[in-house]
C-alpha cells in the first residue's frame, strides 16, 4: 500500500484537504498541498511513458530479502532530465497561491538558476543525506525548506511509481526494517489498523506503507519495553505519539480504528495537519524520527521538519 496517485483516490484526497482547510492555521500550507495534488496528476501523465517497469532480477530479490530496499540509494532512479522537467512543472505550477509562497518560489527558482538545486549531484547528495552538501543547501537563510521538501517528495514519488508497483505483498512478507522497503527512507507517520491495531509505517519520501512490529522503535530498532512509551493527547482518541528514550525520536501515530467511517485517511496529509503533535513531542525533548543526523548535529534542522 502507498499514497494514492490514481484519479479517483486523488479526488477523495482533494475533498479531505478542503475539509482540513477549515483550520486557518493550515490554510496556506494546504493550498500548496492541494495544488501539488493537481500538478502531480498532470506530471504523471507527462512522464508516464518514461516510467519503465522495474525488472526484479534474482540478485535484487536476494538483496531485498537480506534487508536492502528495492531502490539503490547510490543510483537513485531519478534521471536528471526528468528531475529538471518536474522541478519546472512544480515550481512554476505553484505560483499564484499567495505573496509569501510566490516570494519563496522565486528564491527557489533563483537557486536553481545559480546551480544549487540542479542536476544529478543535487539528487544524489540529497538522497544520500550528505552532510556538508545538505548543510550548504538548507542553511541558505532565505530558502523555504518546507516548500522545497514538498516539491522534492512529489518528484521522487512519481519517479518511484514503477518500484512501488514491483513490491508485491508476497515479496514484502518478512521485511522487518524500520526503513522503507521501496526507497530506504525512514517513516514520518504510523497507523494502527485492523483487529488488534497492527502498526504500519508510512515512508516520508515515497509514501509506501509497510507492516512493522508494534513495540519496537522504528528508528533505532530497540525493543526494550522500558525505553519505549507512548503519549496520548487529551480529548483526542485518534492520535498518539510513540517515544523512544534511547534514540530520543518520536513517531506520530493515527489510530485508524477510531476514525469516523466516512473519513478517509491520507497519511501524507495527516503528517502536515498534526503539527500540534510535533510541538508536544519536541517540548518533551524528542526529535522527529526523520531528522537526519547530519542536519541535526550541524544545522539544527531536519528534512521533514524543514516544514
Ligand atoms: Zn519509501
Ligand atoms: Zn529509538
Q: Per-residue confidence at 227, pLDDT binned at 50, 70, 90?
A: confident
Higher per-residue confidence, 224 vs 70: 70
Look at the block and give the residue holding cell 543510483.
Answer: 75
- Per-domain boundaries in the chain: 7-166, 174-299
pLDDT tens by residue, 41-56:
999 988 888 888 888 8
Cα 303 to ligand 1 centroid, rounded to whole Å: 14
Distance 187 CA to ligand 2 centre (A): 13
SS in 3 state form for the chain? CECCCCHHHHHHHHHHHHHHCCCHHHHHHHHHHHHHHHHHHHHHHHHHHHCCCCCCCHHHHHHHHCCCCCCCHHHCCCCHHHHHHHHHHHHHHCCCCCHHHHHHHHHHHHHHHCCCCCHHHHHHHHHCCCHHHHHHHHCCCCCCHHHHHHHHHHHHHHHCHHHHHHCCHHHHCCCCCCCCCCCCCCEEEEEEECCCCEEEEEECCCCEEEEECCCCCCCCCCCCHHHEEEEEECCEEEEEEEEECCCCEEEEEEEHHHCCCCCCCCHHHHHHCCHHHHHHHHHCCCEECCCCHHHHHHHCCCCCCCC
Average pLDDT estimate for 96-106: 92
Average pLDDT over residues 228-247: 92
Residue at grid coordinates 550528505 = 130
Q: How many angstroms separate the CA atoms of 149 and 306, rounded? A: 7
Q: How confident is the model at residue 130 (pLDDT cuts 50, 70, 90)?
A: low
CA of 251 to the centre of ligand 2 (A): 10
Cell matching residue 8: 479517483
Predicted pLDDT at 294: 35
Mean pLDDT of the chain: 86
Distance of CA 152 from the midpoint of ligand 2 (Å): 26
Ligand nearest to the CA of 127: 1
Beta bridge partners of 243: 229, 250
CATH superfamily of 174-299: FdhE-like domain (3.90.1670.10)
Kindly give the distance from the C-alpha atom of residue 281 to the centroid of ligand 2, in angstroms, as a whole number.
14
Give the distance (Å) from ligand 1 centre to CA of residue 2: 9
Give the C-alpha separation, 139 to 133, whole Å. Answer: 10
Per-residue confidence (pLDDT) for residue 52, from 0 to 100: 83
Which percentage of the chain shows pLDDT scores above 70?
A: 89
Minimum-distance ligand to the CA of 289?
Answer: 2
pLDDT at 30: 93
Residue pair 178/185 in contact (Cβ under 8 Å)? The answer is no
Cα of 230 vs its chain's centroid, Å: 22
| Span 192-222, pLDDT tens digits | 999 999 999 999 999 999 999 999 999 999 9
pLDDT band at residue 149, thresholds of 50, 70 and 90? confident
Confidence bin at 301 (pLDDT 50/70/90): very low
1 C-alpha to ligand 2 centroid (Å):
25
- Least confident range from 8-12, 135-139, 185-189, 191-195: namely 135-139
Q: Does residue 300 register a pLDDT over 60?
A: no
Most confident of 117-131, 237-251, 256-270: 237-251
Residue 181 has pLDDT above 90, yes or no: yes
Which is more confidently placed, 200 or 120?
Answer: 200
CA distance 5 to 29: 20
Contact 141, 93 (CB under 8 A): no
C-alpha cell at 80: 536528471
Measured in Å, residue 153 CA sits from the centre of ligand 1 at 10
Q: Is the pLDDT of residue 164 over 70?
A: yes
Q: pLDDT digit string (tens) for 51-90?
A: 888 888 898 899 999 999 999 888 888 888 889 999 999 9
At residue 143, the pLDDT reads 62
Question: Predicted confidence band at 133 (pLDDT cuts at 50, 70, 90)?
Answer: low
Cell of 205: 519520501
> Which pLDDT does position 5 carry in this prediction?
83
Q: Cα of 85 to ligand 1 centre, how many Å?
A: 22
Mean pLDDT of 237-260: 94
Average pLDDT on 8-13 reads 88
Asked if residue 205 lies in contact with residue 156, where contact means CB atoms within 8 angstroms, the answer is: yes
Instruction: Identify which ligand lies nearest to the alpha carbon of 242.
Output: 2
In angstroms, the CA 151 to CA 155 distance is 6
Asked if 282 and 300 touch (Cβ cutoff 8 Å), the reply is: no
Give the distance (Å) from ligand 1 centre to CA of residue 163.
Answer: 10
CB 303 within 8 A of CB 291: yes
Amino acid at each position: 500500500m502507498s499514497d494514492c496517485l490514481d484519479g479517483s483516490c486523488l479526488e477523495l484526497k482533494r475533498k479531505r484537504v478542503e475539509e482540513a482547510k477549515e483550520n486557518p492555521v493550515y490554510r496556506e500550507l494546504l493550498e500548496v498541498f492541494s495544488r501539488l495534488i493537481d500538478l502531480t496528476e498532470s506530471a504523471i501523465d507527462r512522464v508516464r511513458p518514461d516510467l519503465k517497469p522495474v525488472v526484479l532480477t534474482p540478485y535484487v530479490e536476494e538483496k531485498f530479502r537480506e534487508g536492502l530496499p528495492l531502490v539503490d540509494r547510490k543510483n537513485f532512479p531519478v534521471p536528471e532530465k526528468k528531475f529538471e522537467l518536474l522541478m519546472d512543472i512544480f515550481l512554476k505550477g505553484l505560483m499564484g497561491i499567495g505573496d509569501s509562497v510566490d516570494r519563496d518560489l522565486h528564491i527557489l527558482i533563483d537557486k536553481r538558476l545559480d546551480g544549487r538545486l540542479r542536476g544529478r549531484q543535487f539528487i544524489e547528495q540529497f538522497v544520500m543525506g550528505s552532510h556538508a552538501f545538505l548543510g550548504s543547501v538548507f542553511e541558505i537563510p532565505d530558502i523555504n525548506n518546507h516548500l522545497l521538501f514538498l516539491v522534492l517528495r512529489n518528484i521522487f514519488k512519481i519517479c518511484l511509481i514503477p518500484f512501488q508497483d514491483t513490491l508485491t505483498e508476497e515479496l514484502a512478507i518478512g521485511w522487518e526494517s524500520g526503513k522503507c522497503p521501496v526507497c530506504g527512507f525512514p517513516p514520518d507517520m504510523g497507523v494502527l489498523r485492523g483487529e488488534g491495531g497492527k502498526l504500519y509505517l508510512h515512508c516520508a519520501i515515497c509514501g509506501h506503507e509497510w507492516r512493522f512490529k508494534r513495540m519496537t522503535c522504528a528508528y533505532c530498532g530497540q525493543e526494550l519495553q522500558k525505553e519505549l512509551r507512548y503519549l496520548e493527547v487529551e480529548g483526542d482518541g485518534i492520535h498518539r505519539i510513540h517515544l523512544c528514550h534511547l534514540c530520543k525520536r518520536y513517531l506520530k501515530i493515527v489510530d485508524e480504528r477510531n476514525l469516523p467511517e466516512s473519513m478517509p485517511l491520507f497519511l501524507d496529509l495527516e503528517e502536515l495537519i498534526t503539527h500540534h503533535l510535533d510541538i508536544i513531542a519536541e517540548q518533551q525533548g524528542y526529535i522527529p524520527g526523520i531528522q537526519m543526523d547530519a542536519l541535526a548535529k550541524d544545522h539544527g534542522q531536519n528534512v521533514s521538519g524543514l516544514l
